Amino acid sequence: MRSDLKMGKGKVAAQVAHAAVIGSEIVRKGRASWWRAWLKEGQGKVVLKVKDLIELMCFKSKAEELGLPVAVVEDKGLTQIPPGTVTCIAIGPAPCEKVDELTGKLSLL
């Protein structure tokens, strides 16, 4: 999640929920075994923060290089931020060790 955007807590929660849903659908269609394992293990989610869009997109690129599924969330701009603003990404669902390899040093939101 980008920490440079001025969004209320509810807006942040909605953006993160969008990422979880979109990411889940991508994995369900493309890597069903990862999706089933994620469901069985309790549908874990961890919300981490990056400083801005540049850092977010760096993590997106690195995730793709590692073969991890990535979902990008762009806001519709109906409330607090302009249309098309990229707010966050979902990496996974995927095996924890693969995601942690990339995101392990980020701070919790």
- What are 1-47's pLDDT values in tens digits? 999 999 999 999 999 999 999 999 999 999 999 999 999 999 999 99
How confident is the model at residue 66, as a pLDDT?
A: 96
Range of the domain at 94: 9-108
Query: How do residues 70-96 score in pLDDT, each as one tens digit?
Result: 999 999 999 999 999 999 999 999 999
Count: domains in the chain: 1
Q: Considering the domain boundaries, does residue 98 fall inside one?
A: yes
Q: Considering the domain boundaries, does residue 77 fall inside one?
A: yes
How confident is the model at residue 98, as a pLDDT?
A: 95
How confident is the model at residue 69, as a pLDDT?
A: 97
Q: What is the dihedral of CA 64, 9, 82, 15, to 10 degrees?
A: 30
CATH number at residue 98: 3.40.1490.10
Question: How many H-runs (helices) and E-runs (strands) does the chain carry?
Answer: 4, 4
Q: What is the pTM of this model?
A: 0.94
